[in-house]
Amino acid sequence: MLVNGKWTADWQPVQKADDHGRFVRQVSSFRNWITPDGSAGPTGTGGFAAEAGRYRLYVALICPWASRTLMARRLKGLDGLIPVTVVNPVMGTQGWEFGGHDDAEEDPLFGARHLHEIYTRAEPQFTGRATVPVLWDMKRDAMVNNESADILRMFDTAFEGLAPSDLRLYPAALAGEIDALNAQVYDRLNNGVYKAGFASTQEAYDEAVAGVFEMLDHLEYRLTGDYIFGGALTETDIRIFVTLIRFDAAYHGLFKTNRRQIADYPRLWAYMRRILARPGVRETVNMDHITRGYYSIKALNPSRIRPVGPAHIEAALRETAAGI
């Protein structure tokens, strides 16, 4: 991580643990919002008006948090307005790196070798982890936001004037329900799998893995329509999808969340495939980056051997690509 703008020690996956060995995720620190007219959003300062080609999104395709912003960008038709740079899926000793792997790109803005250089460009004395996603303002040379939950939400509304869309990821009528379910899904599923994977005590693992499967069981039970709130896709579906698509190929093995696979849940499996089949979504899923990235986390897999992967995931991706 960075301490007062200097990279310190080797990158380690475990961020912080509490007294019981529970994994604790860092709170994001750049929290400005792009808005239609540049007025300030719910947090941070103003001055970030929606403009075509002004902002760049830095992502890792292994990362579920980054992937949810990438999905929103595609589904909201913002690809032409917001360029993307994809980092290498394998963490080096200095965290995320540019280039050096299929579909990993060089940094087009500053020729940076590591993502942490983008953080110190934004804030020379930055202390914290250099995480993806990063939303960068190429006009003001500033970091807008590094919290995927905020980015997902601003992508829903900020660019309506430039790229009108019928899709409402956070419709006002469902706001309360979305917030409530998001909180559960985040804690028990999205971050729950990480809490299981990075637990350093049996007790912390047991607690996390129980939460993961309670949440999956609950979602399986309540999924009676095409999407979690009925007939229309919302941001909650995106948040659930990014974990489901990684589950059988990465979390089930590496994070030991192995009571069941998503393929064992009939509704969740069909739901995952339904979302995967929506135009644009398949292109945001890169299974090579996902398995390469997760299985290269040395603390969990010292040999870095990447397992062959479940055939059903490969088939689902292949069939979706072929439009079956």
Ligand X SMILES: N[C@@H](CCC(=O)N[C@@H](CS)C(=O)NCC(=O)O)C(=O)O
Which residues in this chain contact ligand X in the complex, by CB under 6 A? 11, 15, 28, 60, 63, 65, 95, 129-133, 146-149
- By beta-carbon proximity to ligand X, the closer residue of 50 and 61 is 61
Q: Is 63 noted as a catalytic residue in this protein?
A: yes
Shortest distance, CB of residue 58 to ligand X, whole angstroms? 10
Any idea what DSSP says for residue 315?
H
DSSP string covering 177-204: HHHHHHHHIIIIIITHHHHHHT-SSHHH
CA 139 – CA 134 distance, rounded (Å): 15
Alpha-helix runs per DSSP H in 62-161: 64-75, 116-122, 148-157
Shortest distance, CB of residue 146 to ligand X, whole angstroms? 6
Shortest distance, CB of residue 74 to ligand X, whole angstroms? 18
Shortest distance, CB of residue 260 to ligand X, whole angstroms? 23
Shortest distance, CB of residue 315 to ligand X, whole angstroms? 26
- By beta-carbon proximity to ligand X, the closer residue of 89 and 211 is 89
Per-residue exposure over 255-273, b if at least 16 CB sit within 10 Å of its own CB, e if not? bbbeebbbbebeebbebbb
- By beta-carbon proximity to ligand X, the closer residue of 8 and 45 is 8
CA 213 – CA 195 distance, rounded (Å): 13
- By beta-carbon proximity to ligand X, the closer residue of 215 and 269 is 215
Angle between helix 235-246 and helix 266-276 axes, rounded to 10 deg: 110
Amino acid identity, position 141: D
The CA–CA distances, whole Å, from 123 to 60, 69, 149, 219 equal 21, 23, 21, 41
- By beta-carbon proximity to ligand X, the closer residue of 148 and 157 is 148
CA 67 – CA 218 distance, rounded (Å): 24
240 near 269, Cβ under 8 Å?
A: no
140 is in an annotated binding site: no
257 is in an annotated binding site: no
- By beta-carbon proximity to ligand X, the closer residue of 97 and 248 is 97
**Given the residues 55, 63, 205, 295, the one annotated as active site:** 63
CA 259 – CA 214 distance, rounded (Å): 11
59 near 265, Cβ under 8 Å?
A: no
**Given the residues 55, 58, 119, 194, the one annotated as active site:** 194
131 is in an annotated binding site: yes
Q: What ranges make up the beta strands (E) of the chain? A: 2-3, 6-7, 16-17, 23-24, 55-59, 84-86, 134-137, 142-145
49 is in an annotated binding site: no
Shortest distance, CB of residue 193 to ligand X, whole angstroms? 11
3 is in an annotated binding site: no
Residues with active-site annotation: 63, 194
Known binding-site positions for glutathione: 96, 129-132, 147-148
